[in-house]
Amino acid sequence: MNSIFQFLYKQLHWIVFILLEAICFVLLFSYNNYQSSVYLSTANRVTARLLNGKFKVTTYLGLVEQNQALAGQNAQLQQRIVELEALAALQHLDSLSAVEAVNRVHRAGYHVSPAQVIDKSVNKVDNYFTLDRGTADGVMPDMGVMGVDGVVGVVFRCTEHYSLVMPLLNSNSRISCKVLGSDHFGYLRWQGGDPRYAMLHDLPRYSAVEPGDTIVTSGSSSFFPEGVMVGTVEAAYPSADGLYVTLKVLLSTQFAKLEHAFVIRKMDADELAALQELLKPKKK
Amino acid sequence: MERILIRIAWFVGLVLVQVLLLNNICLFGLATPFIYIYFILALDRDVDRNALMAVAFALGLLVDVFSNTPGVNAGASVLVAFLRPSLLRLFAPREEFENFEPGISVMGVWPFVRYAVVVVLLHHTALFFLEAFSFAHIAFLLLRILCSTVLTVLLVMAIEFIRHKR
């Protein structure tokens, strides 16, 4: 008996080694499955605070460009207001019915709230972004996130004040997209490598697509409304069986520069989520 | 006591530099330095192997938490911590009984470079393969490992020369 213990003690470093590596592999494989692992991410309070501090410092470095982008967006919105006002005048809408119409759209549609990207990576296989908004601000997992230029990703996990976003630049990310002006849709997936490009798979062969065509969200999931900008077609490749085409898409969002984002909440998403919660099998 | 405090300061400092600065670097879309490994490289020889692995695990996990890659950095760090005593015997075959901290002043510049290259290469290979977990883009992956190793070793040597400038 004693010799067994002595043997074990001599080999203790092997046991410790295998044990620690086993823990690492469990962490590695369970990350995408268990909600509890939110504490091992940049959305936990301590790490997010630190990254928030860093964000506050580094955000000054890109201030000029960010201002220009926001000014550009302001101009676009201003333009929209002018157009819509003209349209309203044309339709002889009085202000009361206009308010009513807006409310109706609001009720049927989506709610958009701004957030800051306090941490991000674009050079990994599975990238994640951290936003400075959490459940306390009404952000919940499975909400869509877009930037000034287009789609960013989907909220993955939340703590009270921060949330983790799975952007397009993640091997687990799939977003249903279509070619603008047609109803053929496929799913967008990132191949890794260059953060400017992603691939749109499973588009029917007969859908005539040309380089330069615009790719938008299809609206078939509740993450995004229909028609949010995703990118433009760079090239098209037929699949091996000739039934589908795969498109190389130049993403409109410049992920490496992203600082401002908007969380999109579908208005009846709460009800939908409650229903799905009921359908889910109970687990610890 | 003072030595322990200095070590804790190194630990915290390296993690902060890694997560706030170096994690955002991706030179030419290829090379990302992982300087925190210097803590394991330069820990003195007589540190118990199990303690070294435990420290490496904590170090890696801390970096993981900040980069949303749970288990990746920790796994790679534990691996090199496990192999380090053997490697150290290989590259610094000193039969002296006294303890020493691996570094250019004790080992000489080239032996230390060789030791650092092997440890960093092992660490980065484990790290990048754990992260990708596929052999799909193997050429790109190998290139990333190679470029990142060069960058990390350069940074390690820079720290060494600053510390031991005479």
Q: Nearest C-alpha of chain A: how many angstroms from B21?
A: 10
| In a shared domain, residues A198 and A154 | no
Residue A108 confidence (pLDDT): 43
| In a shared domain, residues A131 and A263 | yes
> Which tokens sit at B137?
């883009």
Q: For residue A43, tell me if it sits in a domain.
A: no
Task: Determine contact: B20 vs chain A, CB below 8 A.
Answer: yes
Q: Nearest C-alpha of chain B: how many angstroms from A102?
A: 40
| In a shared domain, residues A148 and A263 | yes
Task: Determine contact: B50 vs chain A, CB below 8 A.
Answer: yes
**In which band, very low, low, confident or very high, does the pLDDT at B149 lie, cut at 50, 70 and 90?**
very high
| In a shared domain, residues A105 and A244 | no
The number of helices, as runs of H, and strands, as runs of E, in chain A is 6, 12
Residue in A31, A51, A164 nearest the CB of B70? A31
| In a shared domain, residues A151 and A95 | yes
Among B42, B45, B52, smallest CA distance to B14 is for B42
Residue A92 has pLDDT above 50, yes or no: yes
Q: For residue A72, tell me if it sits in a domain.
A: yes
Residue B95 confidence (pLDDT): 61
Among B26, B116, B127, smallest CA distance to B76 is for B127
State whether A27 and B71 contact (CB < 8 Å). Answer: yes
Residue in A13, A27, A42 nearest the CB of B50? A13
Q: Which residues of A touch B64 (CB under 8 A)?
A: 27, 40
Q: For residue A36, tell me if it sits in a domain.
A: no
Q: Which residues of A touch B69 (CB under 8 A)?
A: 124, 126
| In a shared domain, residues A57 and A139 | yes
CB A230 within 8 Å of CB A153: no
Residue in B23, B29, B75 nearest the CB of A25? B75
Is the ipTM here above 0.90?
Answer: no
| In a shared domain, residues A84 and A209 | no
| In a shared domain, residues A220 and A96 | no
Q: Please state which of the ranges A242-251, B39-48, B103-112, B151-160 shows the lowest mean pLDDT.
A: B103-112
Share of chain A above pLDDT 90, in %: 2
State whether A40 and B132 contact (CB < 8 Å). Answer: no
Contacting residues for B86 by C-beta, under 8 A, at least 6 apart: none
| In a shared domain, residues A113 and A223 | no
Residue A117 confidence (pLDDT): 87
Q: For residue A192, tell me if it sits in a domain.
A: yes
Residue A282 has pLDDT above 70, yes or no: no
**Rounded mean pLDDT, A73-89:** 72
**Domain range enclosing A221:** 175-252
Task: Determine contact: B65 vs chain A, CB below 8 A.
Answer: yes
| In a shared domain, residues A72 and A209 | no
**Rounded mean pLDDT, A100-110:** 49
Q: Nearest C-alpha of chain A: how many angstroms from B24?
A: 7
Mutate to test the interface with A, among B68, B124, B131 (most CBs of A within 10 A): B68
Q: For residue A108, tell me if it sits in a domain.
A: yes
**In which band, very low, low, confident or very high, does the pLDDT at A186 lie, cut at 50, 70 and 90?**
confident
Assign residue A206 the CATH number of its domain: 2.40.10.350
Residue in A21, A41, A124 nearest the CB of B75? A21
Is pLDDT larger for residue B60 or for residue A7? B60
Residue A63 has pLDDT above 90, yes or no: no
Closest chain B residue to A12 measured between Cα atoms?
B50
Residue A281 confidence (pLDDT): 62
Residue A273 has pLDDT above 80, yes or no: no
Q: For residue A32, tell me if it sits in a domain.
A: no
State whether A192 and B29 contact (CB < 8 Å). Answer: no
Residue A264 confidence (pLDDT): 81
**In which band, very low, low, confident or very high, does the pLDDT at A102 lie, cut at 50, 70 and 90?**
very low
Residue A107 confidence (pLDDT): 44
| In a shared domain, residues A98 and A155 | yes
pLDDT tens by residue, A128-154:
898 888 888 888 888 888 887 888 999
> What does the alpha-carbon distance between residue A146 and residue A229 come to, in Å, rounded to a whole number?
9
Residue A101 confidence (pLDDT): 44
Q: For residue A23, tell me if it sits in a domain.
A: no
Residue A105 confidence (pLDDT): 41
Q: For residue A79, tell me if it sits in a domain.
A: yes
The number of helices, as runs of H, and strands, as runs of E, in chain B is 7, 0
pLDDT tens by residue, A216-238:
888 777 778 777 888 899 888 88
**In which band, very low, low, confident or very high, does the pLDDT at B124 lie, cut at 50, 70 and 90?**
very high
> What does the alpha-carbon distance between residue A126 and residue A247 come to, in Å, rounded to a whole number?
21
Number of Cβ pairs closer than 8 Å across A and B? 94
> What does the alpha-carbon distance between residue A205 and residue A209 come to, in Å, rounded to a whole number?
9
Assign residue A155 the CATH number of its domain: 2.40.10.340
Report how far Cα B38 is from the mean position of its chain's Cα atoms.
4
CB A163 within 8 Å of CB A139: yes
pLDDT tens by residue, B66-95:
888 888 899 999 999 999 888 888 877 666
Q: Which residues of A touch B29 (CB under 8 A)?
A: 123, 193-194
Q: Give how many domains chain A has, as a whole number.
A: 2
Task: Determine contact: B105 vs chain A, CB below 8 A.
Answer: no
> What does the alpha-carbon distance between residue B74 and residue B32 come to, in Å, rounded to a whole number?
17
> What does the alpha-carbon distance between residue A284 and residue A253 come to, in Å, rounded to a whole number?
38
Residue A78 confidence (pLDDT): 73
State whether A24 and B26 contact (CB < 8 Å). Answer: no
| In a shared domain, residues A85 and A188 | no
Q: Which of A6-20, A151-165, B93-107 has the largest mean confidence?
A: A151-165
Closest chain A residue to B134 measured between Cα atoms?
A125
Closest chain B residue to A57 measured between Cα atoms?
B20
